[in-house]
Amino acid sequence: MADPKQAAKAGAENEAHIAVHWREEEYVYPPAKFIGQANLTDPAVLERFSEKNFPECYREYADMLDWDEYWHTTLDTSNPQFWKWFVGGKLNVSYNCVDRHLKKYKNKAALIFVPEPEDEPVYALTYQELYTRVNEVAAVLREDCGLKTGDRVTIHMPMILELPITMLACARLGVVHSVVFGGFSGEAAGLRAADSGSHVMVYADGYYRGGKKIDHKASADIAVEMAKKEGQKVDKILVWRRHRGQYMSAKPMIEGRDYFMDDLLKKHLRKKVAPVSLDSEAPLFLMYTSGTTGKPKGCQHRTGGYLAYVTGTSKYYQDIHPEDVYWCMADIGWITGHSYIVYGPLALGGTSVIFEGVPNYPDSGRVWRIAEQLDVNIFHTSPTAIRMLRKTGPDEPQKYNYHFKHMTTVGEPIEPETWRWYYESVGKGEAVIVDTWWQTETGGFLCTTKPGMDPMKAGSAGPPALGIYPAIYDEENKDLKAGSGKAGNICIRNPWPGIMQTIWGDNDRFTRQYYTKYCKNPKSTDWRDWPYFAADGAVLPADGYFRILGRVDDVINVAGHRLGTKELEAACLTVKEVAEAAVVPVVDEIKGRMPVVYMALKPGVSDPQRVEKEVISVIETLIGKIARPKSIHVVSDLPKTRSGKIMRRVLAAISNTMDVGDVTTLANPDIVEEIRKQVQGTGPVQLKEGPEDVKLFGSNE
């Protein structure tokens, strides 16, 4: 492993250029049984998707869809980096995910809902029934809410069937949905509703999670208030009831604003709403995510390119066939759920499982009971869930009679040891694993092995996905070639159909954030001059298997969820006693990373414990429980450079017992030792090497 002292020294000048050494893992080969049935085994695919066939290679994905009008230009680069895909084409996403399957599969389950309470029966929704319900909901949106193509709707809902039904109803009309993760607070939902200009929000009254009944509708009142503060009036709240005819919330329905969906639907039973034929480039949805600056940004995804990309990658990398039972345990409120629970699997006529609950409730056998009961054969989850299931029930999988052919890991780097438990215990040595690296912005997978063709390597995402040509650049724009052993910024050299269109309402930020850093010529309309900057550190060994190290910006990946440290710091500063705050990542055994808050209080504050409690509560209300810090340190001052910049990297080193490096040039070097003693104690400490992403933290500040 790298010498920490040297790494810290190198880091002072050039952080994204540290040397990375690790034990090379052995290749593991996909089982013959998997290969025998896989969607992708033809070696000619490599040639078809080679750089010389770009961008026409992506016809292969677009041809998996039904188009109302075929496109005339595969990729239009005339206005970089606002690439246009399948230009001139027209299609409808809900038609492609629902209507077109009726001929062959109307009687097959499209979605299977698994409620958290085990005594409540599982519910399978056929494609015919999905078709009926999507049409009826589209009628409500159009006729009762007056929504039309291009309008935005914010959907703040838990994992129940009505969530994808509402999304597909929006897609039928070309209404742009913005789904906010159900676990986010009303404030967070209201902020996003305001940013997107939503007049209508969709809620559920409640749901079950971790054995608790959650009153979700209570968030709606807060969201409406928050949106109003931001200058956006929300006129209508549509409320799905988790149990028909009952109301799970303690908050009253507000006359003239709140409507039960089951009431509204009565007028529209069996009504049909023709799918609107939309331009390929029409926006399909917004997905807010955290980035370098405080405000979450609305990643805007397009209709044609996005659907083509998630359909192609679901077929080739998730290996979904209509007869499979596919279960992705992510939440639909994140991009993984959009692309790989809803749109990709349904476009292929697949059967996709939706689970309301948490994996370890009521016990750590629950997930495997569901797998056995539904005969799930494709399973998709995050390293955090795997670590948790392993910790709480290492021997549980073998007690249940299920057999996976395919498993996915996504969202964070996975340690080889965790990977091996996943492979051996969860997959029982029978399932192939894909470690898929991608982002909210990218719509679909960027690096992963081809499950029926490539060997797996624990801890490495693997080669680029078909049609993706990545490179690793250092801070001086130097291309770090395979085998250099150096870490740098992973970039994608070319556009692809799944890439976001822009940041909603902020084209400049889109350019700045992803393209300015490595643009070779701002005047050029040649895509080769516009690499996409992913803000992840990576290394590339000689075999071409990318190993992703984690974020190089101010984002902390908590349990696979992106949290902006600037958002957390802004929340801390809303507590009036807090003078300054800095948030850094600390390694957590289960969640990968967690935020730690360092803060200095205003003079004369006598009750720091109360302030700490208030900070936690503010973070939970403004962002959500997932942002709860692992610890809070009230310090007398924060380490700063002479120009007054807070040295978050030094704080991250302290929290992770890593070498703080040379701090003599700071404006207040003594504070470092003071904070170190406060956090680590006065006794001797054994310094750790620490993971690369913590070393890289804040390096692009």
Nearest residue relative to ligand WTA (C-beta) = 440
CA distances for 71 relative to 49, 53, 310, 420, angstroms: 19, 18, 18, 45
Cβ closest to ligand WTA, residue 113 vs residue 306:
306
- Is the distance from CB of 618 to CB of 610 less than 8 angstroms? no
Residue 61 and residue 305: Cα distance in Å, rounded? Answer: 9
Cβ closest to ligand WTA, residue 442 vs residue 484:
442
Closest approach, Cβ 539 to ligand WTA, in A, equals 12
CA distances for 46 relative to 50, 372, 432, 465, angstroms: 6, 36, 20, 10
Q: How far is CA 276 from the centre of its chain?
A: 28
Residue 64 and residue 346: Cα distance in Å, rounded? Answer: 12
Cβ closest to ligand WTA, residue 62 vs residue 552:
552
Closest approach, Cβ 545 to ligand WTA, in A, equals 12
Q: Where are the beta strands (DSSP E) in 120-197?
A: 123-126, 152-157, 176-181
Sheet holding 378-381, edge to edge: 123-126, 109-114, 352-355, 326-328, 378-381, 406-410, 432-436
Residues composing the chain: 701
In one-letter notation, the amino acid at residue 105 is: Y
Please name every residue paired with 237 in a beta bridge, in sequence order, or none if there are none: 201, 258
Closest approach, Cβ 431 to ligand WTA, in A, equals 17
Cβ closest to ligand WTA, residue 195 vs residue 692:
692
Residue 699 and residue 701: Cα distance in Å, rounded? Answer: 6
Q: How many CB atoms lie within 10 A of CB 671?
A: 20
Residue 639 and residue 700: Cα distance in Å, rounded? Answer: 18
Burial of 294 (0-12, 13-18, 19+ CB in 10 A): middle
Closest approach, Cβ 628 to ligand WTA, in A, equals 18
Cβ closest to ligand WTA, residue 385 vs residue 575:
385
Cβ closest to ligand WTA, residue 11 vs residue 291:
291
Closest approach, Cβ 589 to ligand WTA, in A, equals 17
Percent helix / strand / coil, the chain, rounded to 5: 35, 25, 45
List the Cα angle 550/556/560 in 5-degree steps: 75
In one-letter notation, the amino acid at residue 656 is: N
- Is the distance from CB of 694 to CB of 585 less than 8 angstroms? yes
Closest approach, Cβ 310 to ligand WTA, in A, equals 12
Cβ closest to ligand WTA, residue 440 vs residue 489:
440
Closest approach, Cβ 55 to ligand WTA, in A, equals 23
Closest approach, Cβ 334 to ligand WTA, in A, equals 6
Cβ closest to ligand WTA, residue 258 vs residue 331:
331
Closest approach, Cβ 84 to ligand WTA, in A, equals 23
Cβ closest to ligand WTA, residue 175 vs residue 410:
410
Tokens of 212: 């608790």
Closest approach, Cβ 325 to ligand WTA, in A, equals 22
Residue 383 and residue 389: Cα distance in Å, rounded? Answer: 10
Half-sphere exposure of 19 (CA within 13 A, CB side): 11
Give backbone dihedrals phi and psi of 599, rounded to 5 degrees, phi first: -145, 145
Cβ closest to ligand WTA, residue 334 vs residue 343:
334
Give the torsion through C-alpha atoms of 636, 642, 646, 650, to 10 deg: -80
Helix (H, G, I), strand (E, B) or coil at 409: strand
Half-sphere exposure of 678 (CA within 13 A, CB side): 17
Closest approach, Cβ 156 to ligand WTA, in A, equals 18
Closest approach, Cβ 218 to ligand WTA, in A, equals 26
Closest approach, Cβ 558 to ligand WTA, in A, equals 10
- Is the distance from CB of 658 to CB of 688 less than 8 angstroms? yes
Cβ closest to ligand WTA, residue 80 vs residue 383:
383
Closest approach, Cβ 457 to ligand WTA, in A, equals 12
In one-letter notation, the amino acid at residue 86 is: F
Which of 49, 52, 55, 45 shows the shortest CA–CA distance to 496? 55
Residue 566 and residue 296: Cα distance in Å, rounded? Answer: 10
Residue 600 and residue 605: Cα distance in Å, rounded? Answer: 10
Please name every residue paired with 532 in a beta bridge, in sequence order, or none if there are none: 492
Cβ closest to ligand WTA, residue 60 vs residue 536:
536
- Is the distance from CB of 502 to CB of 657 less than 8 angstroms? no
Non-local CB neighbours of 23 within 8 Å, separated by 6+ positions? none
Cβ closest to ligand WTA, residue 369 vs residue 420:
420
* Helix or strand run (H / E) with residue 423: none
Residue 677 and residue 667: Cα distance in Å, rounded? Answer: 19
Query: Can you say whether the dihedral through the CA atoms of 611, 617, 621, 623 is positive or negative?
Result: positive
Closest approach, Cβ 575 to ligand WTA, in A, equals 28
Cβ closest to ligand WTA, residue 463 vs residue 550:
550
Closest approach, Cβ 433 to ligand WTA, in A, equals 11
Closest approach, Cβ 93 to ligand WTA, in A, equals 20
Cβ closest to ligand WTA, residue 351 vs residue 557:
557
The residues of the shown chain that bind ligand WTA, judged by CB under 6 A, are 289, 334-336, 410-413, 435-440, 461, 536, 548, 550-551, 557, 562
